A and B are shown apart, each in its own frame.
Chain A
Amino acid sequence: MIKLENLSASYGKQPVIGGACASFEKGKLTAIIGVNGSGKSTLLKAMLGILPCTQGNVFIDGAELSALKRNEIAKRAAYLSQGKEAPDMTVGEMVLHGRFPYLSYPRRYTKKDRSFARAAMEQVGISGLADKPLHTLSGGMRQTAYIAMALAQDTDYILLDEPTTYLDISHQLELMAILRKLADNGKGVITVMHDLPMAFDFSDEIAILHGGKIICKGEPLAVATAPYIKSIFGVGLKYIAEENKYIYSGI
């Protein structure tokens, strides 16, 4: 479990997250939602020490974040940022870098690392792309390659910052299906999202970030019917039971 205790973080002197408390479990897909500027990306970075916390604590499976070295954090939780560079390397080379936290002297990847990378690519169905340069891939395929890299990291948790951004709808759905499968297979998946119906359709839990705090976290149906959805987002959500999906309402 990743547990946040009164977590605060800021950019310079500007506080962005102020006293966030929540816990995220393995085997669950949790979507963090909030309006622009609410601090979703900041929260994700602060959860793994990518951005330093100004106050409070994070515990990953009981271990205090501040006591862990960078590579020890990376062995527990993978992180994929919103911006996805397309460096001049092949998919296979990038996925193999998912094994970086496990590198030791003489700092060369081992057969075991290569087998992890192969398995990760198989898991998300991109084994055939191993030799393709990243910059030749579509946005969706590139995103999938990044997820394979996170899988090669062999962590219990994966944190993703708006993974569906810039993808067309079919690739968004494919990506969410992959994340859903990862959670069903036991990983804790925590993802920042903007598309509310998609977040509610695929997630086990929804966390609403507002004013630097997580003001609500729970199962999608309970959160969807909460009164502040409309006041925060300017739209409501309606659950269609027959189709087991959510749509916007009150637009």
Chain B
Amino acid sequence: MKSLPKNKIIRIYFAAVILLLLSAVLGILLGAANVSLGSMLAAIARGDMESAEARILVYVRLPRVLAALVCGAALAVSGAVIQGVLANRLASPSIIGVTAGAGLAVTLCSALGIIGGLSLSLFAFAGAFLTVMLVSLGAKKWGASRGTVILMGVALNSLLGAVSDTVTTFVPEVSIMSNDFKIGDFSSVTYAKLLPASAVIIVSVAVLITLSNELDLLTLGDENAKGLGLNTGAARVLFLLFSALLAGAAVSVAGLLSFVGLLVPHAVRRIYGSCSKHLILLCALFGAGFVSLCDTLARVIFSPYELPVGIIMAFIGAPFFIFILVKGKGGGSHD
């Protein structure tokens, strides 16, 4: 396999943008209520913000589509970065417990009465960051193999889930840890949750794209990367910090969405490759489009009933994960 020529890379970007736009438009157009785009826009144009059409567009479908786009981008990029830093293609925010850490923090937040805004995002980020650092430091201290790191993450995932369940058992009013939250869902998205999380996600993705060469260097091994002038310890912490910011922000909006962080980076690597600059950007675009499309499917498949988006994503993500394991390609060359 040769490196891709520029025109093929452009075609991949084009496909990613088309997927994103298509999924966004479908997300606006389709839903339980049979409302046309024209009638929604007409209601807004005449300033009738109290009409059902305008309210559906502005307060239901638009925030939901935007949330799906930013959370999809965040989790896909977070997965790609964690896989690069841990040099393990089987790592992802949901598999190594990062989203569970954020979920626990959100549960505690809810128990404390914090249900939205920047505080929730910050708590979610802290939970995600502590978990990812725990896995990373544990792997380093005990010289764990790449397979062991995954198992450590899986164990941590269960532990954090158990702690969350304990909190919800003793504090039943913690409604945020509902099934929808555990599976991942956009039905309760509000601008108060979405805006701070979106700001965090956009800034984090931009910073990670800027630092893509550093991420590539880590794949050469610590000593070679140091020989090239990279402070590998600081770089790892920085990357894990931003991947935790992304995962935490996504969890604060949508709950524990799984498989995006695993599925999308793998798919992008297969069709494009692993050069971090394009990998991060393509993961953001494809991740956004994929989650938004899944969310639309979740709304329309059994309309007027709605499935949590996590179910649709698991239906697609789980077989793909098994496919990776069976094909033995999950390790990649530096796994």
Q: Which residues of A contact B (CB under 8 A)?
A: 45, 48, 50, 69-75, 78-81, 83-90, 92-94, 97-98, 100-101, 103, 106-107, 109, 131-136, 146, 149, 153, 159
Contact = CB atoms under 8 A, between A and B. Distances in A.
B223 A81 contact: yes
21 contacts: A48-B226, A50-B226, A50-B227, A70-B226, A70-B231, A73-B229, A79-B223, A79-B226, A80-B224, A84-B221, A87-B216, A87-B220, A87-B274, A88-B332, A89-B216, A89-B273, A100-B229, A101-B228, A106-B210, A131-B2, A159-B227
B275 to A, nearest CB: 6
A22 to B, nearest CB: 20
B223 A50 contact: yes
Given A88-B332, A93-B275, A81 B228 contact: no
A133 B273 CA distance: 10
A100 B228 contact: yes
A107 B1 contact: no
Given A50-B223, A90-B3, A136-B1, A97 B228 contact: yes
Given A79-B223, A79-B226, 5 more contacts: A80-B227, A86-B333, A97-B216, A101-B229, A135-B333
Given A89-B274, A93-B3, A98 B228 contact: yes
Interface string B190-230: 00000000000000000000110100110111011011111
A45 B274 CA distance: 29
Interface string B238-255: 000000000000000000
Interface of B: 1-3, 210-211, 213, 216-217, 219-221, 223-224, 226-231, 269, 273-275, 332-334
Q: Which of B2, B223, B274, B333 has the most CB of A within 10 A?
A: B223
Nearest to A133: B1
A48 B213 CA distance: 22
List of 9 A-B pairs having minimum Cβ-Cβ separation, nearest first? A79-B227, A74-B229, A71-B229, A87-B219, A88-B274, A81-B223, A101-B229, A135-B333, A90-B3
B230 A70 contact: yes
